[in-house]
Amino acid sequence: MTASLLTQLSARVGQVFETCDLDPKFGKVVLSQRRELGQFQCNGALAAAKSAKKNPRDIAQTVLEALEKTGIFAELSLAGPGFINMKLTDEFLKSHLNTIAADDSFGIREEHNSEKVILDYGGPNVAKAMHVGHLRATIIGESLRRLHVFMGDDVISDVHFGDWGLPMGLLIKEIELQKPDLPYFDADNEGPFPAESPVTVDELQELYPAASSRSKENPEFLEAAREATFELQKGRAGYRALWKHMLDVSIAETKIDFDLLGAHFTEWKGEADTNDHIPSMLERFASNNLSEESDGAIVVRIAREDDKKEMPPLILQKSDGAVMYGTTDLATIEMRQLEHDPDSILYVVDARQGLHFEQVFRAARVGDSLDADATLEHVGFGTVNGKDGKPLKTRDGGVVRLRSMIEDAIGEARKVVEEAGLKDKFSSEELEDIATKVGIAAIKYADLSNQRMSNYVFDLERFTKFEGKTGPYQMYAAVRIKSMLRKATDQGIASGDIVVTHEAERNLMLALSQLSEAVFAAADKSAPNILCDHVYALTQEFNSFYHDCQVLGESDEAIRASRLKLCEITLRQIEAVLDMLGIAVPERM
């Protein structure tokens, strides 16, 4: 039995079409837009009639009569030119819900062929504090990781640190200028070098902009930085030692942000890890005539005849010998192939890097860098904007640090929960935990509920509201159920078999049955917003149920036990989906 109710029903209705000598594809069943007419709808008779040159209502009538015999429908009706409306028997709905509820993954794992998926997200850079641009990369990437883990995929998450290239040379030269007495700059010094980093992360964050503007004013400095980058890549001991310190303090700093956002990486690799692979890669491209020289640089031509836009070649090596962002990305693909043999690699990176990934992916195909069946996908996303509709900036036009965004969100959440009167109910420790969870839920849900490619406005006041399409609201729905279940335990009330007595129960059961649709569609499109929509629809349906149906107050024991059971399943599912969004639910609030 498949977890998806719609797939199951479509197959059944498809069979009926087939027995009428019509293509089973016309049996596609969808959720009804108008619940009062039925739970489900099949509109295939219209298309079937066209291809069979028959009257659609006649076809629909024949199909409907055959469907009556299946015994799984409580109501069937015809509408308009040939729409079939369906309502399942309670027995069928109940048995489906019981089946999926019996499984940890609501039947989803069983239905999915596990794949090996590499997720590349986060993408921080050495010496630069994570900023607004990394917010979405982290939130969306982490959600996709959790989604694929839930489905039973074998998931590798790699942070892919930006730790190679010219910025490293700039930093080395800037540190040399500011702290010339350090031992790292003497080409003859083979070490050992001090174990303690000569720079703190705060210093690094000032050193980088200083180096960057110096390189713009001073061509000699830029040249020296290029030279240093090259030496670093070749392995000069002092530079490597200094670089390692910069990397380590930067990683330690980003870990604080990732922990706050609940992001989990199985690999902490970076561009630099490709260094030893690059010479052999360049050699292989060259000897197979896959790369060529162009103005002293080595490039891979990737343009295709049917290209509608210009597709510049990917530069593997510049004329000065330095390798580029694209080179390390291409080498990373080759190394991932060798080490993991993945089915797919997903890059959760700003949509503005679209051309870069297109170039790298094409070059990977040119060079057979990856298994031909494996897929490469750039999972792009839009920008986070300020209330002026432009990409978010600080008041003086600078980049907004990720840490401050998280802290602001938690601060706003603290205000909201205090205003809601929680301050007197909880210890300050628990209150802080709640505020943190609410704040994180607020920014995550706000981000993920948008279509990934759209931009959105960062508005904490809206994000932290306890109503509508917000993280705190979904979270609160779960907390309320938790508290009800605790009460039930206290009162010695146990859950029991489902008995259906009210339309609100059916609607809730129907909403619960839609999880697999949501999960597979979200994975297919790398679209967590589909999960957000699902959990929102579910909490709405639960609220109607809770409004219309007594649970603990119900006097009929069997009905009470059944409703409690529905509450348990609902809580489990809300928590599962929120977990896929990276949102944790407090015990109480």
Which residue, 351 or 493, is less far from ligand ARG as judged by CB? Answer: 351
* Cβ-based nearer residue to ligand ARG, 263 or 434: 263
Q: Which stretch binds ligand ARG (CB under 6 A): 120-128, 165-173, 185-193, 472-480?
A: 120-128
* Residue whose CB is less far from ligand ARG, 127 or 225: 127
Residue with the shortest CB distance to ligand ARG:
123
Beta carbons within 8 Å of 255's beta carbon, 6+ residues apart: none
Under the binding rule (CB under 6 A), the answer on residue 120 touching ligand ARG is yes
Chain residues 38-97 in contact with ligand ARG, contact rule CB under 6 A: none
140 in Cβ contact with 528 (< 8 Å): yes
Taking the complex as a whole, how short is the minimal distance between the CB of residue 428 and ligand ARG, in angstroms? 37
Q: Residue 62 class from Cβ within 10 Å (0-12 exposed, 13-18 middle, 19+ buried)?
A: middle
Structure tokens at 573: 């599912």
Q: How far is the CB of 402 from ligand ARG (least distance, A)?
A: 12
Cβ at position 478, least distance to ligand ARG in Å? 33
Residue 1: Cβ-neighbour burial (10 angstroms; 0-12, 13-18, 19+): exposed
Which of 162/439 has CB closer to ligand ARG? 162
Q: Is 76 helix (H, G, I), strand (E, B) or coil?
A: strand
- Scanning the structure block, which residue is given the tokens 């809580």? 571
Candidate list 349, 515, 567, 571; residue touching ligand ARG; CB under 6 A = 349
Indicate whether 163 belongs to the interface with ligand ARG (CB under 6 A). no
Q: Binding to ligand ARG by residue 138, rule CB under 6 A?
A: no
For position 347 contacting ligand ARG by CB under 6 A, the verdict is yes
Question: Residues binding ligand ARG: what is the number (CB under 6 A)?
Answer: 8
398 contacts 369 by C-beta, under 8 angstroms: no
Per CB under 6 A, which region of 48-56, 90-98, 118-126, 525-533 contacts ligand ARG? Answer: 118-126
Cα–Cα distance measured from residue 86 to residue 74, given in angstroms and rounded to the nearest whole number = 8
Question: Least Å distance between CB 427 and ligand ARG?
Answer: 40
CA pair distance 31, 5, nearest whole angstrom? 10
- The stretches of 41-131 forming alpha helices (DSSP H) are 44-52, 56-68, 90-101, 108-111
Q: d(Cα 540, Cα 416) in Å, to the nearest integer?
A: 22
**Interface with ligand ARG (CB under 6 A), residue from 32, 125, 215, 337:** 125
Of 123 and 198, the one with the shorter C-beta distance to ligand ARG is 123
333 vs 576, which CB is nearer to ligand ARG? 333
Give the shortest CB-67-to-ligand ARG separation in angstroms.
Answer: 51
Kindly state the smallest distance separating residue 170's Cβ from ligand ARG, in Å.
16
Retrieve residue 502's tokens. Answer: 């009210």
Q: Give me the residue label for tokens 């401050």.
A: 404
Hey, is 294 helix, strand or coil?
strand
Span near ligand ARG by CB under 6 A; candidates 88-96, 119-127, 521-529, 542-550: 119-127
Judged by CB under 6 A, the residue of 28, 94, 112, 160 near ligand ARG is 160
d(CA 589, CA 587): 7
> 122 or 528, CB closer to ligand ARG?
122
Bridge partners (DSSP) of residue 315 are 299
Measured CA to CA, the distance from residue 262 to residue 45 in angstroms comes to: 48
- Judged by CB under 6 A, the residue of 174, 329, 447, 541 near ligand ARG is 329
Q: Phi first, then psi: what are they for 247, rounded to 5°?
A: -65, -50
For residues 128 and 565, which CB has a smaller minimum distance to ligand ARG in the complex? 128
Least distance between ligand ARG and beta carbon 230 (Å): 20
Q: Considering the complex, state which of residue 271 and residue 412 has its C-beta at the smaller distance from ligand ARG.
A: 271
123 binds ligand ARG (CB under 6 A): yes
Shortest approach of ligand ARG to residue 400 CB, angstroms? 15
Residue closer to ligand ARG (CB basis): 6 or 351: 351
Question: Could you say which DSSP state residue 323 is in?
Answer: B
The CA–CA distances, whole Å, from 12 to 40, 60, 68, 100, 425 equal 13, 15, 12, 19, 53
Peptide bond preceding 192 in cis form (omega within 30 of 0): yes
Among 107, 162, 342, 528, binds ligand ARG (CB under 6 A): 162
| CB nearer ligand ARG, residue 125 or residue 464 | 125
Name all contacts of 427-431 with Cβ < 8 Å and 24+ positions apart: 430/588
Tell me the HSE value of 88 on the side-chain side, using a 13 A CA sphere: 25
> Which CB sits closer to ligand ARG, 179 or 264?
264
CB of residue 378 vs ligand ARG: minimum separation in angstroms? 9
Strand duo 375-379 + 344-348: pairing: parallel
C-alpha separations of 242 from 245, 327, 467 in Å: 5, 23, 51
User: Whole-number minimum distance, CB 347 to ligand ARG, in Å?
Assistant: 6
Instruction: Pull the structure tokens for residue 555.
Output: 């006097």
Give the binding site for ligand ARG (CB under 6 A): 120, 123, 125, 160, 162, 329, 347, 349
